[in-house]
Structure 1
Amino acid sequence: MATGIKDIAQAVEASAVMKLLPDRPPRLLALGEPTHGAGAVLDARNALFRQLVEQEGYRTIAIESDCLMGLLVDGYVTSGTGTLDEVMEHGFSHDWGAFAGNRDLVRWMREHNEGRPASEQVRFAGFDGPLEITGAASPRQSLIALHGHLSSHVDADLLPCAAETLDRLLGPDDRWTEPAAMMDPARSFGRSEEAERLRLLTDDLVALLDARAPQLIAADSREGWHRARLYGRTAVGLLRYHFWMADTSQNRFSWLMGLRDSMMAGNLLALAERGPALVSAHNGHLQRDRSTTRMAGRPLEWWSAGALVSARLGEEYAFLATVLGTLRHHGVDTPPPDTVEGLLYALPEDRCVVGAAGLAASLGDTRPAPRVSPYYGYAPLDPAHLDRIDGIVFVKDAPESPES
């Protein structure tokens, strides 16, 4: 079995990845990670993404980070707006900006773009919603920005309300960001009269944005219209998320989990409209399979962003899962030899790429049991998912780094 795997393992290079995807490069090429922040995993991602940009013409890199904050990073890598320190601090959510691998990626993107025309530059995008595990942001930023774009280019009497009305209904941001609301629906503002009114107004603003697309693009730019669409998607998603935070049914958390991945999928599909993009996020968000977890003693399941995007794009979506051998500083030691990780760990290479179809064929009809992780922050590969993965990037060891 190990001999068969050795025969199909290749160096982690763009050419090897493209051989796994005959007749396509895909519009969205997603590379997952089994844990966040591991330096060796991010280094492998960065090296592969650089090659895919330079050799295969990809022009956007999208990261599992706040889609609005990511606009700061995009401004820096394309035009040098701000400083590297500023965008790493303020352009990433979930503290992703503290990871050296993400800093290296942003630095390289700026260096790559220096002196190049806009058509040859590589863009940055966050594709997560403005969400944290403890709650969601106020819809103020996205909603006011959407209204501002429309009010600059269409007659005032076409707008469903004035900006002052939105400001009054939104109120102070802390009513939206109340930390206790995640566990106590009664503390959520999401089903108040003001929130319900805002959902209706936002729906009309987004409808106006779509109905006036030719006018708006001509008056401003296609880029401005795409950004306004981002504001609209984000406002709609946040108001919907807050609505379900206030729900008291047993389906509350399934809704919240699903809505986050749905917001991710909407942003990825919008990026795909604009051209080929590379995507970096946790394997769980990018997989084609349904996601599952347990919360408060109940099983939860929802469709991942990758599953939603794959359903829409078909062969235009490709997913490579990163698989890790050891993460010793978190108690993840040498994998058992009868797991997929163990079979790959027996290879001599520190990093390699393996076609999932070839790996499945080498395993035969019997799939190994999933590896058991002693660390909650690391998710091993589920061998049952191999048939719905295009390839595996294997990283043998991820030693501790300062930001781990």
Structure 2
Amino acid sequence: MPTDIQDTVHTVEAAAVLGLFPARPRLLALGEPTHGEDALLELRNDLFRQLVEEQGYRAIAIESDCLSGLVVDDYVTTGAGTLDDVMRDGFSHPDIGLATSVANRELVRWMREFNENRPRSEQVRFAGFDGPLEMAAAASPRRALTALFDCLAAHVDADLLPCTAQRLDDLLGADEPWTDPGAMMDPARSVGRTPRAGELRLLAEDFATLLETQAPHLEAAMTPDAWDRARLCARTARGLLRYHHWMADTSPGRMAWLVAVRDQMMADNLLALAERHSTLVHAHNGHLQRNRSTMRMGGRPVEWWSAGALVGARLREEYGFLATALGTVRHRGVDVPPPDTVEGMLYAGPLERCVVDAPGLAAALRDAPAAPRQSAYYGYAPLDPAQLASSDGLVFLKDVPRTPGR
């Protein structure tokens, strides 16, 4: 490791991480450059425990379905259900193995153990902050809309409800047309721009408006958690219907709209979390970075502002971002990094994992910029050295072993 960057490198401990910031971030985002590797989740778990026990953080938010995440939060706060049931029902994205991850299971187990016999005000909380979206499909808006309707029907005058429960059910219809995986590649198969979808979008707006205009009454009549969940359902219903609308689009901007709507849903959920808790956020680097995100989809370049960029613009210094970079992932074909890359320089150091002052590293490399790393494995996104200065820190893991069973 070059001597001029050694002073920017520290062990991965909560105190060292927070020492990168002038003040403790309300949302501390830890990115990952690839999915499905438990070594990255174990690092996340270790950092989260330290943040909770030493620094007063009280929530973790991961890249998983925000509505399913309520199942996990109920378990870690009250013990409702069994750990097996919670792992099955509380996580989305089966393609990256969130529900089967040993590290995720250990996180949930530890949170439940930590919360045992603690008052609710001191408990740690769990949240998914992604929409109910998968790589190949989006959920029906039924779950969010019916939960929101039931909440309003229980607390406001029936004359104010913009429709009946029966009308809402009729408009939603069967779930299968909403979740048709063929609609991701063929807009003609999407129901997102049918007349009933259009009416549901208007109803979702009216439900959300009714929730907001009745807020003084509803907040007094409901527990804080119930009020937050009603707001979550309102955000999710509107976001899902917006997403389905753009799934049915045939313009060249279709994919850019879809990824942007997804990250807006993420950002809205993170901003809501920031109102209540100091939170560690964990997701792909591309969702959490402050820079404009890019990828190629269907042979075309797609650009959008990530959730991190949107949240950072709102929270300013109360949002902190740590990108994660890797040395090797040999079972994925990612071998020792070239020595002129950032990863190569850190790989030459003695620490198996470390946290780096990213702006300080960028300054140290100003006269001899690092080369960008290339990866033959499509699922791993190497660090872009041009983005060092816009990150608050960089977490580096030297070697990622194969996750057992995968």
TM-score bucket (shorter structure): over 0.9
- The aligned amino acid for 1:20 is L
How far the C-alpha of 1:182 sits from its partner, in A, is 0.7
Q: TM-score, normalised by structure 2?
A: 0.98
**Distance (Å, rounded) in 2 between the aligned partners of 1:36 and 1:134:** 16
**Distance (Å, rounded) in 2 between the aligned partners of 1:34 and 1:294:** 16
| Partner in structure 2 of residue 326 of structure 1 | 328
| Partner in structure 2 of residue 238 of structure 1 | 240
| Partner in structure 1 of residue 362 of structure 2 | 360
**Distance (Å, rounded) in 2 between the aligned partners of 1:220 and 1:348:** 54
**Distance (Å, rounded) in 1 between the aligned partners of 2:172 and 2:371:** 50
Q: Secondary structure at the match of 1:318?
A: strand
- The aligned amino acid for 1:305 is A
How far the C-alpha of 1:90 sits from its partner, in A, is 1.0
Q: Deviations over 1:220-269 (max 9, x none)?
A: 22221110000000000000000000001010000001111110001000
Q: Secondary structure at the match of 1:200?
A: helix
Q: TM-score, normalised by structure 1?
A: 0.98
| Partner in structure 1 of residue 253 of structure 2 | 251
Q: How many pairs does the alignment contain? A: 403
1:58-69 equivalences under 5 Å are 58-69=57-68
- The aligned amino acid for 1:174 is E
1:207-226 equivalences under 5 Å are 207-226=209-228
**Distance (Å, rounded) in 1 between the aligned partners of 2:39 and 2:204:** 43
- The aligned amino acid for 2:21 is L
| Partner in structure 2 of residue 13 of structure 1 | 13
| Partner in structure 1 of residue 371 of structure 2 | 369
- The aligned amino acid for 1:44 is L
| 1:26 lines up with 2:25 in the alignment | yes
Q: Secondary structure at the match of 1:127?
A: strand
| Partner in structure 1 of residue 301 of structure 2 | 299
| 1:290 lines up with 2:292 in the alignment | yes
Q: Deviations over 1:146-170 (max 9, x none)?
A: 0000000000001101111110000
- The aligned amino acid for 2:365 is L
Picking from 167, 170, 186, the partner of 2:169 is 167
| Partner in structure 2 of residue 113 of structure 1 | 115
How far the C-alpha of 1:370 sits from its partner, in A, is 1.4
| Partner in structure 2 of residue 94 of structure 1 | 93
1:52-91 equivalences under 5 Å are 52-91=51-90
| Partner in structure 1 of residue 348 of structure 2 | 346
| 1:103 lines up with 2:92 in the alignment | no
**Distance (Å, rounded) in 1 between the aligned partners of 2:124 and 2:267:** 21
Runs of 4+ in 1 over 6 A off after TM superposition: none
- Checking the alignment, whether the CA contact within 8 Å between 1:12 and 1:351 is kept in structure 2 is yes
- Checking the alignment, whether the CA contact within 8 Å between 1:69 and 1:91 is kept in structure 2 is yes
Q: Deviations over 1:375-400 (max 9, x none)?
A: 11111110011111000111100110
| Partner in structure 2 of residue 396 of structure 1 | 398
How far the C-alpha of 1:110 sits from its partner, in A, is 0.7
Percent of aligned pairs sharing the same letter: 67
CA change 1:298–1:396 in 2 (3 A) is same
| Partner in structure 1 of residue 48 of structure 2 | 49
- The aligned amino acid for 2:108 is V
| Partner in structure 1 of residue 387 of structure 2 | 385
Q: Secondary structure at the match of 2:250?
A: coil
**Distance (Å, rounded) in 2 between the aligned partners of 1:66 and 1:300:** 23
How far the C-alpha of 1:402 sits from its partner, in A, is 2.0
How far the C-alpha of 1:331 sits from its partner, in A, is 0.3
| 1:268 lines up with 2:270 in the alignment | yes
- Checking the alignment, whether the CA contact within 8 Å between 1:14 and 1:48 is kept in structure 2 is yes
Q: Deviations over 1:205-229 (max 9, x none)?
A: 0000011111011112222111000
**Distance (Å, rounded) in 2 between the aligned partners of 1:170 and 1:141:** 10
- Checking the alignment, whether the CA contact within 8 Å between 1:287 and 1:319 is kept in structure 2 is yes
Q: Deviations over 1:62-116 (max 9, x none)?
A: 0000000000000111111111111111100012111111111111111111111
**Distance (Å, rounded) in 2 between the aligned partners of 1:303 and 1:364:** 26
- The aligned amino acid for 1:308 is L
| Partner in structure 2 of residue 2 of structure 1 | 2
**Distance (Å, rounded) in 2 between the aligned partners of 1:256 and 1:202:** 19
Q: Secondary structure at the match of 1:35?
A: coil
Q: Which runs of 5+ in 1 are unaligned?
A: none
Q: Secondary structure at the match of 2:155?
A: coil
**Distance (Å, rounded) in 1 between the aligned partners of 2:148 and 2:9:** 48
Picking from 139, 142, 147, the partner of 1:137 is 139
How far the C-alpha of 1:403 sits from its partner, in A, is 4.6
- Checking the alignment, whether the CA contact within 8 Å between 1:98 and 1:403 is kept in structure 2 is no
- The aligned amino acid for 2:16 is A
- Checking the alignment, whether the CA contact within 8 Å between 1:33 and 1:322 is kept in structure 2 is yes
How far the C-alpha of 1:369 sits from its partner, in A, is 2.3
- The aligned amino acid for 1:50 is R
- The aligned amino acid for 1:238 is L
After TM superposition, the structure 1 stretch with the greater mean CA deviation from structure 2, 116-125 or 291-300, is 291-300
- Checking the alignment, whether the CA contact within 8 Å between 1:100 and 1:403 is kept in structure 2 is no
**Distance (Å, rounded) in 2 between the aligned partners of 1:141 and 1:356:** 42
- The aligned amino acid for 1:53 is V
**Distance (Å, rounded) in 1 between the aligned partners of 2:361 and 2:102:** 32
Q: Secondary structure at the match of 1:97?
A: coil
| Partner in structure 1 of residue 279 of structure 2 | 277
**Distance (Å, rounded) in 2 between the aligned partners of 1:89 and 1:288:** 33
Cα RMSD over matched residues? 1.0
After TM superposition, the structure 1 stretch with the greater mean CA deviation from structure 2, 393-402 or 62-71, is 393-402
**Distance (Å, rounded) in 2 between the aligned partners of 1:365 and 1:265:** 36
- The aligned amino acid for 2:86 is V
